[in-house]
Amino acid sequence: MSWSKYAEFLAFAVVLVLIPGPDFAVVTKNTLVGGRRRGRWTALGVSSSNLVQGTAAAFGVSGLILRVQPLFEAIKWAGVGYLAYLGAQAIRSALRGQYPPVDEADGHTRGLAGWRQGFTSNITNPKVLVFYLAVLPQFLTPGAGLGWLLVLAWSHAALGLSYQLTLVTGLHGLRRLLMRRTVRRSLDATTGAVLLGFSARLATEHV
C-alpha cells in the first residue's frame, strides 16, 4: 500500500463525506433540537457506527451479513423504518409548531439520545456495509494486509466525524436565528421530508 494510494482514497472519502445523506439530516435535526452537545453526541454516534462497520468489514463480518440475505434484508428494513420514524417525528413537530425553550442542563440525557439516533441511523444503512466491503478494497494495492484496510475504514470515520462536528458548530452559531418559530417549522418540515425521502429510496433500492 503506497501513500499516494492512501491520499487518493482520502480525496475520494472527502467528496463522499460532503454528500448530504441520512447522517447529515439526523445530525442537523438533533443540533437544532438539542443544541451543540446533542449534535456532537449524534456525530459521535454516527462515527461509532462507522468504526464498527469498518472494522467488521475488515474482518469479513460484513461479507457474511451480505451473503445471509434474510439478515441483510432485516437490517435494510430496520433502517427504512427508523428513518421513516425520525421523519414522521420532524413532520409532527412542524405541524404542532410548539417549541419550548431548550434547556441544555440535562445535556447528558440529550447527549445519549443523540448518540443513539446517530448510531442507529448509520448502523441500519446497508449502503455503509456495501461501501466498506466493496469500495475500500479498491484502493488497496496487491499484498496490502488487514492493517491497511482498517486504516482506510478508520480514516473515513475520522473524516466523517470532523465534518459533522464542523457542521454542528456552524448550526449552533446560527441557532438563535434558526430557532425562530417560523424558521424552525420550515426546517422541521424540510428535514422530515428529506428523512422520509431517504426512507422511501432505501425501501425501493436494490442494494
Q: How far apart are alpha carbons 6 and 148 in whole angstroms? A: 9
Judged against a pLDDT cut of 60, whether residue 170 lies above it is answered with yes
Range scoring the smallest mean pLDDT among 21-30, 111-120, 193-202: 193-202
> Quick one: average pLDDT of 13-33?
88
Confidence tier at 45 by pLDDT (50, 70, 90): very high
User: Which pLDDT value is given to residue 44?
Assistant: 96
Q: Name which residue leads in pLDDT, 16 or 107.
A: 16
Cell 441511523 found at: 121
Judged against a pLDDT cut of 70, whether residue 207 lies above it is answered with no
User: Which pLDDT value is given to residue 26?
Assistant: 92
Judged against a pLDDT cut of 80, whether residue 3 lies above it is answered with no
Q: Name which residue leads in pLDDT, 58 or 31.
A: 31
Judged against a pLDDT cut of 50, whether residue 106 lies above it is answered with no
Contact call for residues 28 and 191 (beta carbons, < 8 A): yes
- pLDDT cut 70: percent of the chain above it: 85
> Quick one: average pLDDT of 86-103?
75
User: Which pLDDT value is given to residue 104?
Assistant: 47
User: Which pLDDT value is given to residue 110?
Assistant: 67
User: Which pLDDT value is given to residue 162?
Assistant: 96
For residue 178, the tally of other CB atoms under 10 A from its CB is 16
Contact call for residues 177 and 183 (beta carbons, < 8 A): yes
User: Which pLDDT value is given to residue 109?
Assistant: 55
Q: Which pTM was predicted?
A: 0.77
Residues listed for the chain: 207
> Quick one: average pLDDT of 21-43?
89
> Quick one: average pLDDT of 184-206?
83
Cell 446533542 found at: 38
Give the chain as a 3 state SS string: CCHHHHHHHHHHHHHHHHCCCHHHHHHHHHHHHHHHHHHHHHHHHHHHHHHHHHHHHHCCHHHHHHHCHHHHHHHHHHHHHHHHHHHHHHHHHHHHCCCCCCCHHHHHHHHHHHHHHHHHHHHCCHHHHHHHHHHHHHHCCCCCCHHHHHHHHHHHHHHHHHHHHHHHHHHHHCHHHHCCHHHHHHHHHHHHHHHHHHHHHHHHCCC
CA–CA distances in Å: residue 46 to residues 31, 143, 198: 14, 31, 16
